[in-house]
Homo-oligomer: A and B are copies of this chain.
Amino acid sequence: MGIQIKNVHLLDSPENERTDIYITGDHISGIGKEPRGFSKDEVIDGSGRTAMPGLINCHTHAYMSLMRNYADDVPFAEWLFERITPIEDSLSSEDAYWGNMLSIMEMIRTGTTSFVDMQMFPRMCVKACADSGMRALITRGLVGEGPGDEGGIRRLREAFDEMEYGKASGANVEFALGPHAIYTCGEAYLRHVTELAREKGMKLNIHLAETEKEYRDCLEEHGCTPVEYLERLGMFKSHILLAHCVRLSDHDFELLANPNVFVVTNPASNMKLANGFAQVAKMLECGIQVALGTDSAASNNALNMFREMNLLTMTQKGAREDALVLSAEETLKIATRNGALAMGREDLGTLKTGSTADLILIDEKSPNLMPRYNMKAALAYSASGYEVSDVLIGGRIVLRDRNFITIDEEQVYYQVSQIADRYK
């Protein structure tokens, strides 16, 4: 299968330059020059469109879009324990499938081509990725005390079973180990999971230093900060994604500047749950690798990486009172290339010959993107995400002229409405 995207602007090229992109199978086989023996099965007109790598949402919980706008403007404890958890506990696997599909729809519609997920229903996430063509790095959320704790061990076993299922599915999915947080996992359990990750060469994904309470409790219990605690447990010897990192000591900034460590910042969720602003500008100055996530739709309440990019750059400028931090260019890199590296995927987050063809087209004719001086600034500061017109994942067209190709939109709306009706 060969796709030619004709006469398109590449985000990294000079503003007026246009070219052709050639896609063979799952990868970009040429830019500007038709590769020898190219089979032109499909042509996409790129006139009036800008091509860029798909955005990479490095932290979410996709099934939770079922709880979007269900419990807002209530205190955190009421939000989590009285409103969200009871629904979560009552969801069936099939419910979770439709929640995953709804999230994937929103992400594709707004230009996200990969996401990193912490799931209660990994199999349903695999199935939704298989059906939609979406790419994901999936982690079963792990909670437990230690090797003697049956629940914790069962969850780990399930996690490995789901990986087998996922690998056999043919979907664009990979897996990592996802101990939920330091306040939901005992030290022995964290050590056990860390050991497993090292043995099997797997990545880790954990929530860290999200709230003031977590930070203070850690100091009290372990005599060190959350970051120091993970470092002590040896977790930074594996490739690890740390979601949040809002509360950090000066020493923590030093420890996080580690080639294995990727901080995933979630500006909307941190504001909405009143945790404040992560010091992303300072992280970058310290040489820390930063990627971007939306967190779940229950605490955002959108899975729109364009909106998240804008929130990131704007809040950093505001909180630092420095207009020069987090430029449009840096912000776009965080949401694309840095996300790819956080997923361990050298082949994503860039548009060049040989890269995997995860890319999106932006409709340049939208009032908010006009006039056209600087497309990167337009995408970071002016775009809503709904200017995305076409999305390809692994060379497969999943959105074409704003229409879903792989997803039955009406069916997803119908199913999630039926589920939501139970909780009204």
Contacts and interface: CB of A to CB of B under 8 A. Distances in A.
Contacts of A378: 68-69, 301
A374 B75 contact: no
A413 interface: yes
B307 A381 contact: no
A382 B318 contact: no
Contacts of A274: 317-318, 320-323
Given A73-B327, A268-B314, A370-B417, A384 B273 contact: no
A109 B367 contact: yes
Interface residues of A, number: 73
A360 to B, nearest CB: 16
A43 interface: no
Interface in A7-36: 15
A298 B292 CA distance: 26
A381 B105 contact: no
Contact of A304 (B318, B368, B424): B368
Q: How many copies does the complex hold?
A: 2
Interface in A321-351: 321-324, 327-329
Interface in A100-119: 102, 105-106, 109-110
Contacts of A372: 69, 417, 420
A297 B311 CA distance: 16
Nearest to A375: B69
A72 B324 contact: no
Contacts of A368: 106, 110, 302-304
Nearest to A212: B321
A412 B371 CA distance: 10
Interface string A267-288: 0101111111100000000000
Given A65-B370, A68-B373, A373-B423, 16 more contacts: A15-B424, A68-B371, A72-B380, A72-B381, A74-B324, A102-B370, A102-B371, A106-B368, A271-B314, A272-B381, A274-B323, A277-B318, A301-B382, A370-B412, A373-B420, A386-B386
30 contacts: A15-B424, A68-B370, A68-B373, A69-B373, A69-B381, A72-B327, A73-B329, A74-B324, A75-B324, A76-B323, A79-B323, A102-B370, A110-B368, A271-B315, A272-B381, A273-B323, A274-B321, A277-B318, A277-B319, A297-B382, A301-B382, A302-B368, A303-B368, A307-B307, A311-B311, A311-B314, A371-B419, A372-B420, A384-B384, A384-B386
